[in-house]
Structure 1
Amino acid sequence: MKIYSLSKIAIVLSVLLIFILLGALWRVSAVPQTSLIVQDEQFFEVKPGANMTSVLRELAEKEVIEPSFWQSVWIKSNPKLANIQQGWYQLSIGMTLLNFVQKLHVGHVVEHKITLVEGFTVWQWLEQMAATGDIIIDVSYDHDAFEYQFTPLSKHHQMTIREGYFAPDTYAYAHQAKASDILFAAYAKQRQQLKALMSEFTLPKFIHNEHELLTLASIVEKETGTAKERPIIAGVFLSRLAKNMRLQTDPTIIYGIGPSFNGDITYADLRAKTPYNTYRINGLTPTPIANPSLASIKAVLAPEQTDALYFVARGDGTHEFSKTLAAHNKAVKKYQLTKP
């Protein structure tokens, strides 16, 4: 009778244990299919040194998941998923915990893209970057010195940079990237482009180095409304340099005024003798006035041979080119002074 009772108890305990194990297995197997509590798209940072335990704890603190003992059991039973990579990750509506953990395991971090527009200044690019809301601005512009400085946030904070040395293009960047890192990618691309160009072309007469090449290319960029006119505009400016004529180009004045320019060049602006007023100074400006496109750099290296020394905008993006001042004045009267 006693033996029978012990056997019966053992059977009951065994069955109970099986049910407990099945329940545990069910709870563990349900963990990866748990939906994250996300109302809209949001981002989550896995910091350096974080592990899955700390990530789960932070997700619970942010109320993205309900804290559960079984989550830790699931991770421990899948050790390969414990290897995660730092960075920013996107949390989406309908995403499961398994989806999220798999992203962390393969390092599927958030990647954005930004197009640094041809002919823009770095300060205009910084405005573009700030508008995204996902780039840390660690660069400031010193208008008095016409140069850019990196804040202590940047690993390049001991450096200063000048306009024109960055290649306009579309760049990929991580969420919460620093502006300086994007700029240095553009700087590296510009160096690569210049190296390739200088192996193919020689500098034109009166352009003595890469700095002057970028400076004139930036002026060509700002004066060009139609791409096909770049080589002839470059040819006009090179001809003026050859004849010791002032470049007399409005975009240089605008750059000298800086971010405060309101859209109107005044008579006082034209008369002011500043380093960037090519109506008052001889030769090129001290620095580029924008970040030129590859096409504008090539236009300076391979300009169109022309007798024209003047040009005026027709108002449709193209220009009227003239060989003499008299012809130019006539074109100015036609296209600029007789506007309705």
Structure 2
Amino acid sequence: MRFFLLLVALSCGAAGYYSWSDYNRYLAEPVNLPSDSTLFTIQKGWSAKRLSVELEQQGIIDKRYWFDLYVRLSDKGAGIKTGEYSLLAPMSVPELFATFIQGQTTQYSQNIIEGSNWKQTLARVASSTVLRHTITEEVLASPEAIMELLGFPGLHPEGQFFADTYAFPKGTSDLDYLLRSKQNLDRVLAEEWAGRAENIPLETPYEALILASIVEKETAVIAERPLIAGVFLSRINKKMRLQTDPTVIYGIGDSYDGNIRRKDLTTDTPYNTYTRAGLPPTPIAMVGREAIRAVLHPESTTSLYFVARGDGSHQFSDTLAEHNAAVRKYQLKR
């Protein structure tokens, strides 16, 4: 009897040792992933048990009982994060599970382009293949409805979304993307307004945003932006009209065909800064930080005019006579 009990004890010990060794070997060995990345998605509401079933069904793990034991012993099964993951070999079970706990999901990106207007921005969002579309066709046709959904009822959407590149996981909605951009714009504008230079003839951050959008449209040369901002602010100080073509173009709207004619400069719209004094009623484009900073930290200048040279840069002039000569040289000759 003693011998039998000894055999049983030895057998149990051997089985236990084998099992423990097999468990630790399982944790040390890489899971079944190809050399390139494997996309794996954890759906909302999945439990750790459901996760192990899906991993086994897709051939990523075997011996699911050891995976389940590891999850139980870790006491972190409730912490798995929803999302799409790009799994790269080699990866062990602990590394795989840590990826799901840390939420290291695959990131996609989409940008809001500096100088793009609201319609162009919305069209890019609506045509995105990586965002989850929740905005209905009816709402898409109503800027007011979109802003209300975002929590900003009554606010005109133009210029309200910060021009930048945004990374996000699969499943991010179009509204979440727009809200993040709006919040970024508010944050950056507040930061720059708080540190603005003295004696800027602008009363509110919104006025700074309007002028920044004009500067954004006037030049793509970053180094010129503070100087162009300085010209506009000097004109505002002298009660001169801004007389800037991008606002005229914005006022023309969808009928703009690529050319500004004399009649366009004399046809009054809320955005025609040739016929109306002061700033237009809203921004005319989306902006980045550089344009906002240029407006709030302008370059000191005696220039009151500028004209495009045709190479992306501008010729600046102090007097109307100098400006007219520059126009003849760089514009009329072309």
SS class of match (1:311)? strand
The offset of 1:225, in angstroms, is 3.7
Residue 164 of structure 1 is aligned with which of 159, 181, 203? 159
Residue 265 of structure 1 is aligned with which of 231, 255, 259? 259
1:1-340 superposed matches below 5 A: 7=3, 17=12, 20-32=15-27, 33-38=29-34, 40-66=36-62, 68-76=64-72, 78-88=73-83, 89-111=85-107, 116-121=112-117, 133-136=129-132, 149=146, 156=151, 162-169=157-164, 171-200=166-195, 201=197, 204-205=200-201, 207-241=202-236, 245-256=240-251, 264-265=258-259, 267=261, 273-339=268-334
> Sequence identity, in percent?
33
SS class of match (1:321)? strand
User: Is the CA contact 1:81–1:102 (under 8 Å) kept in the aligned structure 2?
Assistant: no
Amino acid at match of 1:103: T
User: Is the CA contact 1:217–1:300 (under 8 Å) kept in the aligned structure 2?
Assistant: yes
1:322–1:72 CA distance, 2 compared to 1 (3 A): closer
1:254–1:79 CA distance, 2 compared to 1 (3 A): same
SS class of match (1:136)? coil
User: Is the CA contact 1:38–1:64 (under 8 Å) kept in the aligned structure 2?
Assistant: no
The offset of 1:284, in angstroms, is 2.4
Count of residue pairs brought into register by the alignment: 329
Does 55-64 or 143-152 show the bigger shift? 143-152
The offset of 1:313, in angstroms, is 0.9
State the alpha-carbon separation in 1 of the partners of residues 94 and 163 from structure 2: 39
Q: Report the aligned-residue RMSD.
A: 4.2
The offset of 1:255, in angstroms, is 3.9
1:43–1:261 CA distance, 2 compared to 1 (3 A): farther
Q: Note the alpha carbon deviations across 1:173-198, whole angstroms, 9 max, x for none.
A: 44433344344444344434444444
User: Is the CA contact 1:140–1:150 (under 8 Å) kept in the aligned structure 2?
Assistant: no
1:183–1:30 CA distance, 2 compared to 1 (3 A): same
Amino acid at match of 2:98: Q
The alignment's TM-score, normalised by the length of structure 1, stands at: 0.73
SS class of match (2:79)? coil
1:189–1:35 CA distance, 2 compared to 1 (3 A): same
1:274–1:121 CA distance, 2 compared to 1 (3 A): same
The offset of 1:79, in angstroms, is 3.6
Q: Which runs of 5+ in 1 are unaligned?
A: none
User: Is the CA contact 2:48–2:80 (under 8 Å) kept in the aligned structure 1?
Assistant: no
State the alpha-carbon separation in 2 of the partners of residues 54 and 336 from structure 1: 68
State the alpha-carbon separation in 2 of the partners of residues 145 and 255 from structure 1: 18
Q: Which runs of 5+ in 2 are unaligned?
A: none
State the alpha-carbon separation in 1 of the partners of residues 141 and 81 from structure 2: 40
SS class of match (2:86)? strand
